[in-house]
């Protein structure tokens, strides 16, 4: 009778990194570690302490499935069910965009001044609105999205973060379901041009909702809609913050000036690319 060799978590990790690299996955080592920790039920920052332990058959089977799906370029956030954003974990599904680090540029700018009521247009997972409310105990928010499925995810995140009492959600297109005025309006709208869509990574192009990625055409339709409706809902001296693609700063800034907003600025992200257009309503 022969005894099967014991496979350690470390050995499984080494093979997984090889498989992901062979599939052309960026950051194969980092992704493999996150997926192994998930399969083994270990916190990612504690994985190193357990690497020499024997891997159970259940862990190996689950890990193999995750690695095969990642090799097919399914996003890690979909595989583990969430993503860290602004220091908090947000539930992520194929119904919403994966919260991206560059969007934290918008959150940081929003937190640079006080606000009591925030409106998040195209809220998706709710990552922006809920991050802002988590940092401002007295503030309240409204998240709007055209997708009912996205709003379900946003509500789950609000519940998980204990913010359901201060953030409500409404289904509709931009300002359609919105009443009243807000001293802060934020949005990360779809801005990929139709021509750019084919060049996106497989993780984005194949697995994220196209409704949240592109409006088609030149990618500026969402900004046109926001600029047209913002005056009716931005309080005097209220702020508007819009995430943009790196080539869209000039046209979006001009739209906001034409809409009568003041102090229009284009802000860079940490990589130095134009990322946020900020404006203020007249006092």
Residue 81 maps to a domain = no
- Is 92 among the domain residues? no
Residue 170 has, within 13 A of its CA and on its CB side, a CA count of 14
Q: Answer whether 260's CB lies under 8 Å from 240's CB.
A: no
For residue range 191-206, list pLDDT tens digits in order.
999 889 889 999 999 9
Task: Count structural domains, the chain.
Answer: 2
Q: Are residues 221 and 104 in the same domain?
A: yes
- In this structure, the answer to whether residues 243 and 205 fall within a common structural domain is yes
Q: Domain for residue 148, yes or no?
A: yes
**Rg (Cα) of the chain, in Å, rounded?**
21
Residue pointed to by tokens 């519940």: 159
Residue 84 resides in a domain: no
Residue 89 lies in a domain: no
By residue range, what is the domain housing residue 29?
9-72
User: Which residues, given as ranges, of the chain have pLDDT below 70?
Assistant: 1-6
Residues 136, 181, single domain; the answer is yes
Distance CA 91, CA 81 (A): 6
In this prediction, residue 1 carries a pLDDT of 37
CATH number where 247 lies: 3.40.50.150
Q: Which of 34, 30, 39 is nearest to 65 (CA)?
A: 39
Q: Are residues 196 and 65 in the same domain?
A: no
> Quick check: is 197 in a domain?
yes
Q: Beta strands 140-145 and 167-171: pairing type?
A: parallel
pLDDT of residue 200: 92
Q: Which residues contact 45 (CB under 8 A, 6 or more apart)?
A: none
DSSP string, the chain: -PPPPPPBHHHHHHHHHHHHHHTT-TTHHHHHHHHHHHHHT--GGGGGGGTTSBPPHHHHHHHHHHHHHHHTT--HHHHHTEEEETTEEEE--TTSPPP-GGGHHHHHHHTTS--SEEEEET-TTSHHHHHHHHH-TT-EEEEEES-HHHHHHHHHHHHHTT-TTTEEEEESSTTTT--S-EEEEEE------HHHHTTS-HHHHHHS-HHHH--STTS-HHHHHHHHHGGGTEEEEEEEEEE--TT-HHHHHHHHHHTT-EEEEEEE-TTS-EEEEEEE---
Residue 208 in any domain: the answer is yes
Same domain, 158 and 230: yes
Domain end marker among 32, 55, 72? 72
pLDDT at 6: 60
By the 8 A CB rule, do 63 and 130 touch? no
163 and 262 in a single domain? The answer is yes
pLDDT at 3: 40
Residue 197 has what pLDDT? Answer: 87
Per-residue b or e along 237-248, where b marks 16 or more CB atoms closer than 10 Å to that residue's CB? ebbbbbbbbeeb
Establish if 91 belongs to a structural domain: no
Asked if 40 and 147 sit in the same domain, the reply is no
| Residue 175 shares a structural domain with residue 39 | no
Q: Are residues 178 and 55 in the same domain?
A: no
Residues 51 and 131 in one domain: no
Look at the block and give the residue holding tokens 């030149």: 218
Q: Are residues 52 and 136 in the same domain?
A: no
Confidence (pLDDT) at 96? 97
> Are residues 151 and 224 located together in one domain of the fold?
yes
Do residues 139 and 132 make contact, with C-beta atoms less than 8 angstroms apart? Answer: yes
Q: What is the pLDDT of residue 5?
A: 55
């Amino acid at each position: 009778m022969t005894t099967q060799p014991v496979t350690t978590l470390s050995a499984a990790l080494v093979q997984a990194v090889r498989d992901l690299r062979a599939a052309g996955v960026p950051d194969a080592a980092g992704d493999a570690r996150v997926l192994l920790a998930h399969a083994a039920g270990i916190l990612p920052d504690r994985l190193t302490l357990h690497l020499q332990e024997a891997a159970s058959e259940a862990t190996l089977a689950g890990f193999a499935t995750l690695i095969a799906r990642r090799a097919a370029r399914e996003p890690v956030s979909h595989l583990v069910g969430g993503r860290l954003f602004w220091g908090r974990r947000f539930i992520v599904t194929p119904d919403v965009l994966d919260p991206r680090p560059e969007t934290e540029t918008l959150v940081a700018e929003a937190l640079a001044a006080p606000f009591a009521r925030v409106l998040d247009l195209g809220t998706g997972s709710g990552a922006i609105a809920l991050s802002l409310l988590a940092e401002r105990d007295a503030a309240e928010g409204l998240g709007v999205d055209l997708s009912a499925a996205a709003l379900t995810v946003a509500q789950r995140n609000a519940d998980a973060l204990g913010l359901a009492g201060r953030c409500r959600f409404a289904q509709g297109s931009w300002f359609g379901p919105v009443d009243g005025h807000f001293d802060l309006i934020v949005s990360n709208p779809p801005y990929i041009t139709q021509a750019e869509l084919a060049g996106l990574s497989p993780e984005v192009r194949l697995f994220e909702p196209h409704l949240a990625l592109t409006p088609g055409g030149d990618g500026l339709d969402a900004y046109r809609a926001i600029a047209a409706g913002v005056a009716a809902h931005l309080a005097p001296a209220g702020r508007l913050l819009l995430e943009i693609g790196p080539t869209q700063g000039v046209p979006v800034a001009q739209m906001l000036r034409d809409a009568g907003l003041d102090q229009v600025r284009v802000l860079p992200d940490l990589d130095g690319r134009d990322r946020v257009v900020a404006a203020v309503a007249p006092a």
